[in-house]
């Protein structure tokens, strides 16, 4: 996962990322899945899109190909050179259900004992359920910011309003479970499943192999 805040002098370059989409990622060795993502206002969960914050999520066939991409791919260097903030995380899924554009994650790791955990939740929201979904989203966002053990949060999406994703990093399994099983988030999840908000969804947890950079003004370094 890569998160970027485009620098003021690179706004046109940043907007062009949405036009080009996955084209700059073609022919990358070992890449099996890729999504270019926008973000909500100020990097949060909002129907108002951010003009500068964006990201991309890539899945590779091997650890070596993922590391080579992160360290030397021209597209990664281009994003970094145009960024005011740049954050990158290398992740190994250990629990996943559902799919993203028909793609399902394979579990590659065992659950970490007392280490940082990342969570990626994405959904295609049914148009006639969108207003109900967004009414639940804001309280859940506020709850994340106040939650104990939250390291990083990002509201992302393929398209405003209907195709949304949430990426978070937590100190450990205990902290993410306490958030997931209480308050506004639990209420939102129960409503989403009980009232069939989504036409497709994927919920994945990852072991954080490494994470470094800046997002929303916060410096993150793992390990």
Q: Please enumerate, as own/partner, the contacts of 72-77 that have beta carbons within 8 Å and a separation of 24 or more.
A: 73/28, 75/24, 75/25, 75/28, 76/2
Nearest to 86 by CA among 208, 169, 3, 210: 3
Give residue 51's domain range.
Answer: 2-222
Contacts of 76 (CB under 8 A, 6+ apart): 2, 69, 70, 88
CATH number of the CATH domain containing 45: 3.30.70.100
Q: Encode pLDDT of 117-169 as tens digits.
A: 999 999 999 999 888 888 877 777 777 877 889 999 999 999 888 999 999 99
Among residues of the chain, what percentage have pLDDT more than 70?
98
Per DSSP, the chain holds a count of helices (H) and strands (E) of 6, 9
Q: How confident is the model at residue 15 (pLDDT cuts 50, 70, 90)?
A: very high
Q: Which pLDDT score is estimated for 139?
A: 76
pLDDT, tens digit, 9 for 90 and up, residues 189-214: 777 777 788 999 999 999 999 999 99
Q: How many domains does the chain have?
A: 1
CB under 8 A, 24+ apart: contacts of 107-114: 109/206, 109/207, 111/173, 111/205, 111/207, 112/172, 112/173, 112/207, 112/208, 114/172, 114/173
**28-73 per-position pLDDT tens digit:** 999 999 999 999 999 988 888 999 999 999 999 999 999 999 999 9
CA distance to 8, 32, 60, 148, 212, per residue, from 108 (Å): 39, 15, 12, 27, 22
Give pLDDT tens digits for 69-105. Answer: 999 999 999 999 999 999 999 999 999 999 999 999 9
Indicate if the pLDDT at residue 184 is higher than 70. no
Per-residue model confidence (pLDDT) at position 149: 94
Distance CA 101, CA 158 (A): 11
């Amino acid at each position: 996962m890569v998160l970027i805040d485009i620098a003021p002098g690179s706004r046109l370059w940043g907007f062009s990322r949405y036009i080009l989409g996955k084209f700059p990622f073609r022919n990358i060795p070992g890449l099996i899945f890729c999504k270019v993502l926008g973000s909500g206002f100020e990097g949060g969960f909002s129907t108002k899109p951010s003009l500068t914050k964006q990201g991309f999520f890539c899945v590779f066939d091997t650890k070596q190909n993922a590391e080579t991409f992160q360290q030397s791919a021209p597209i990664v260097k281009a994003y970094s050179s145009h960024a005011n903030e740049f954050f990158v995380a290398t992740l190994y899924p250990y629990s996943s259900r559902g799919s993203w554009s028909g793609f399902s994650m394979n579990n590659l790791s065992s659950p970490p004992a007392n280490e940082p955990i990342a969570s990626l939740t994405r959904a295609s929201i049914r148009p006639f359920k969108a207003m109900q979904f967004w009414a639940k989203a804001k309280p859940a966002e506020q709850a994340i910011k106040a939650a104990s053990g939250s390291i990083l949060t990002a509201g992302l999406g393929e398209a405003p309003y209907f195709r949304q994703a949430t990426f978070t990093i937590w100190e450990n399994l205990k902290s993410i479970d306490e958030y997931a099983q209480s308050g506004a988030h639990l209420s939102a999840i129960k409503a989403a499943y009980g009232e069939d908000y989504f036409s497709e969804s994927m919920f994945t947890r990852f072991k954080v192999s490494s994470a470094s950079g800046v997002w929303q003004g916060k410096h993150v370094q793992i390990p």
